[in-house]
Structure 1
């Protein structure tokens, strides 16, 4: 209403707190993958969680994942090509063997027979509740959720294994590299390994 001639908040800055993203280590992920589970609901949830760890897809994207999202590319490999529910950014993800294996396992699963979807995903609430149970039986003292799977893909599965951050950004469907750089911050182990490699190269000179 032009009652004041200056904006009293013009020099006010809002600071952003650094976010801590929980991830699973290689050993923890392996423990979940290899755990013998007799209870069917937990075994299914485990498989879907592991699938997310090897594709980086979010819960909502896995929920809508169908045959139309699978494409055979010129390289002969099968890819997932999907627009993210959250941002509508396109993700192009080559299927890793572990993810492929899980899709194969549920090809004729009765609960999704005749449906377009590829995996028998429960509600997010139920998934996270069962994942907590899964964490307990695997002896992992972390609050395991479907979102942790996406973080684990970004760090433990890709960045830690030398996949360039630009590639990880594309796989996750991020519109900005800044978003992906949040994951790079948590990789002290990777920094240590890279510096060791540098040290050995410098010693050879």
Structure 2
């Protein structure tokens, strides 16, 4: 229940206006009752006027203050019946006739996700893609699981560092990796930020520094150009399925396009050194290099009277890619360390076991960097906006960096 206190703000004048403070969950909201009284008649301990035969009006004012307290209590009960997220300010606004009902967390979040498919990404001018929608659906699903598991209702006031720690621990019990947890956290913060901007969420504890989730540096690998050559020279004349996967993967390795943009390469002009691609993910126009290895692959299909093979699903492509890598003997060791379920896991794989379509794009960026191509040129193709972001993406260790510097110094001397 609420607590109602009446008080005066003394200004040295003989009269003052009675003010009221409504306290709920340690929050306070004040307003003026508009009732002016003689200061000398006020009993602050009783929060009422002293009554006397000579001043019968004081009794009427006391009754009026009691009626205000009763009306505030009724306003609170009405709000509580219809909503879970009640603040002291809401009770006062309800009493004053200014209250506008705010959506609960679940009402707002449900509407937020439902409206995503109709929204436009301001940076691309295009509709929000399905992968982004899936990301928000996933965090909503996890939040509902957590609410059921913890047996506590999720309200706007829930979101503080203690709640976040319990949510993270829950996600660890679900066996999620640290970076998947970070993705859920980022999606949740986007919902809270939007709700705050719209005035629906008045809790700002989620903006504090301790409301955060660490992101783990992902350890990835890329193919060496010598390994790409092994794939290129592999005789797959009797296996059309793997031949097509091999060729599409090598196109990624030599152009830097994402898997989602592979189908756009069918229109490559063999008499040109560049080709413009409008990327599906960001809607950005980029120019990719049309080098001899790319022309060789495209030319082979056109000589057969074919266009480049149709792109299959990413999951099937990755399955076939592992089969291809094993057949080609791509058995270089790759160590991967990450946190999952709250525990540190160290794994050693042969690279064919963890070969995916995205390795092609990463291989392009890494190998071009190793060749000494300026970062700004590579980033124009890959779409990375900052050098810091790009350097996290490619695979360059300190020894390789030292060798590159030494080579540059030799070449310039």
TM-score (norm 1): 0.79
2:32 maps to none
In the aligned structure 2, how far is the partner of 1:105 from the partner of 1:200? Answer: 40
Residue in structure 2 matched with residue 120 of structure 1 by the alignment: 310
2:327 is matched with which residue: 137, 151, 161? 137
Q: Structure 1: where are the runs of 5+ without partners?
A: 113-117
Larger-Rg structure: 2
What residue is the counterpart of 1:115 in the other structure? none
Note if 1:58 corresponds to 2:258: yes
Is the 8 Å Cα contact of residues 57 and 172 (structure 1) preserved in structure 2? yes
Whole-angstrom distance in 1 between the partners of 2:277 and 2:209: 42
Would you say the 8 A contact 1:42–1:134 is kept in 2?
yes
| Per-residue Cα deviation, 1:11-30 (whole angstroms, up to 9, x for no partner) | 22432211222211222222
Rounded to whole Å, the distance in 1 between the matches of 2:393 and 2:209 is 31
For residues 182-197 of structure 1, the aligned pairs below 5 Å read: 182-184=392-394, 186-197=396-407
Contact 2:273 2:289 in 1 (8 A): yes
What do you get for the CA RMSD once the two structures are aligned? 2.9
1:151 alignment counterpart: 362
Q: Is the 8 A contact 1:55 1:93 kept in 2?
A: yes
2:56 aligns with none
What SS does the aligned partner of 1:65 have? helix
What is aligned with 1:14? 213
Residue 92 in structure 1 maps to residue 287 in structure 2: yes
Q: Relative to 1, partners in 2 of residues 1:169 and 1:179: Cα closer, same or farther, differing over 3 Å?
A: same
User: Which residue of 30, 37, 61 corresponds with 2:229?
Assistant: 30
Q: How does 1:95-114 map to 2 (within 5 A)?
A: 95-107=290-302, 109=304, 112=307
State the shift of 1:107 in Å. Answer: 1.8
The number of residue pairs the alignment matches comes to 192
Q: Look up the match of 2:242.
A: 42
**Partner SS, residue 88 of structure 1:** coil
Change (3 A) 1:185 1:122: closer
Distance (Å, rounded) in 2 between the aligned partners of 1:7 and 1:60 = 39
> For each residue in 1:145-198, what CA deviation from the matched residue of structure 2 results, as whole angstroms up to 9, or x when unmatched?
111100000102x11100111111101133444432213463445302124337
Q: Answer 1 or 2: higher relative contact order, Cα 8 Å, separation at least 6.
A: 1
Larger strand share, 1 or 2: 2
198 and 168 in structure 1: CA distance in 2 versus 1, 3 angstrom threshold:
closer
Change (3 A) 1:198 1:147: closer
Pick which of 175-184 and 137-146 moved more: 175-184
Q: TM-score, normalised by structure 2?
A: 0.42
Kindly tell me: are residues 200 and 110 of structure 1, through their superposed partners in 2, closer, same or farther at Cα, counting changes over 3 Å? closer
5+ long unaligned stretches in structure 2: 1-85, 89-156, 158-201, 331-349
Given that residues 92 and 171 in structure 1 are in contact (C-alpha distance below 8 angstroms), is that contact kept between their aligned partners in structure 2? yes
Deviations 1:103-132, CA, capped at 9 Å, x for gaps: 1112255675xxxxx443222222111111
